[in-house]
Amino acid sequence: MTRRNLHSGLGALFLLLAASLLAASPAQAETGPGRCTGKFVNPITDICWSCLFPISVGGLKIWPSERPDTDNPDSPVCLCGLRPGIAMGFWEPVRLADVSMKPWCFVNLGGMKLDPGFDIGFKTMAGPSAVGGATQYNSQWHVHWYAYPLIYWMEIVADFLCLESGSVDILYITEIDPLWQDSELTAIINPEAVLFANPLALAACAADCVAATAKLPTDELFWCAGCQGTMYPLNGNVSATIGHVQASRLALARFSYKLHRELVAWGTMGGKGLCGKYLMPVMRKQQYRFQATNPNPQTKGRYACAPIGASTTFMSAGQVYPAIGEDMGYLVWRKRNCCAL
């Protein structure tokens, strides 16, 4: 009996010590509902390097690609003031984005979750709820926007003035943005949304879905995000959620549009961009490609860096894992036309 009591006492002591250690450890996911998952982006193996192409000089593609490209200036010679140059066109990785329903979850920083000391911005996926006689899910997302001038800081190309310069940095977090939390407040920056809240405007998005999947989205249908839904409101509230990939890409597209509307992001494509960036309050969707980096990097295939609005049918496989892979990360590619020396 004495030995049995001794073993029981030691077992209880071990459990007590283990519980105390767990309580004392700084668990990163205990600061809020849900566990934040993710990993650091490997700048070599997690990048779709073929997304750099095509590269063009004027209207001639000197390095072609199977991926669709925007229209480039026809003339290979350009002039910015008194400075002549060569009209170059290429795609550049410039931003990283976390897209998650969990506040303060930095997916591309290894799944790090911060504790700001107050409860703010918790988002969920809910449903189904009866809307218009049908059942649909809805979700709310947060976005973290990083400066990520990959080609510049890896020094792949030296002394090329057209490249985005700088270092890796966090530029924007939506948890502290009131316009991202509330659709009524969002109307301040997108009052025109009421004009497109009708069946005819939404039906036009079907054509944008086909165009974005086959080639490039239709910029004239600026209120559409192709197969993902509508661009309005410019926040993370997705009223018709099909899955994590569709909803997260829509939230990222809306956030990109929001930055353009707030004049934080500018235009870089086309003839107007040859001599520098220009104001683009109505975002041209063709300017961007989104490549998944988390939970599973997409580095190969036609839809590895699909344009805004392309069907997620060809990019959803293996992108979501229950409980351990529901936080999304993306690399943002931007089209750049530049008058290079």
For residue 286, tell me if it sits in a domain: yes
Residue-level pLDDT at 5: 46
Distance from chain centroid for Cα 105:
14
Classify residue 29: in a domain, yes or no. no
pLDDT for 27-72, tens place per residue?
A: 344 434 478 999 999 999 999 999 999 999 999 999 989 899 999 9
Q: Which residue has the higher pLDDT, 2 or 41?
A: 41
pLDDT exceeds 80 at position 215: yes
Residue 8 falls within a domain, yes or no?
A: no
Summarize the confidence of residues 100-125 as an average pLDDT.
Answer: 82
Total tally of structural domains belonging to the chain: 1
In a domain? residue 47 = yes
Residue 182 falls within a domain, yes or no? Answer: yes
Average of per-residue pLDDT across 325-336: 92
Out of 12-21, 176-185, 323-332, least confident range: 12-21
* 21-25, 53-57, 116-120: range with highest mean pLDDT: 53-57
pLDDT at 132: 52
Local confidence band at 246 (pLDDT 50, 70, 90 cut-offs): very high
Q: Is residue 208 part of a domain?
A: yes
Cα(190)–Cα(157) distance, rounded to whole angstroms?
Answer: 39
pLDDT range class, residue 17, cuts 50, 70, 90: very low
Contact 151, 93 (CB under 8 A): yes
In a domain, 160, yes or no: yes
Q: How many residues appear in the chain?
A: 341
Residue 259 has a pLDDT of 97
Query: Looking at the predicted structure, is the pLDDT value of residue 178 above 70?
Result: yes
Confidence of residue 4 (pLDDT cuts 50, 70, 90): very low
The Cα 175–Cα 37 span in angstroms is 18
- Residue range 149-173: average pLDDT? 83
CA–CA separation, 264 vs 234, rounded Å?
14
Q: For 72-79, what is the mean pLDDT?
A: 94
pLDDT band of residue 135 (cuts 50, 70, 90) is low
What is the predicted pLDDT for the residue at 127? 57
Asked whether residue 278 is assigned to any structural domain, the reply reads yes
Q: Give residue 138's pLDDT.
A: 85
DSSP one-letter string for 161-209: TTS-----EEEEEGGG-HHHH-HHHHTTT-GGGGGG-SHHHHHTHHHHH
Which residues, other chains included, contact 227 with Cβ-Cβ below 8 Å and sequence gap of 6+? Answer: 209, 212, 213, 246, 309, 310, 311, 312
What domain range includes position 326?
39-340
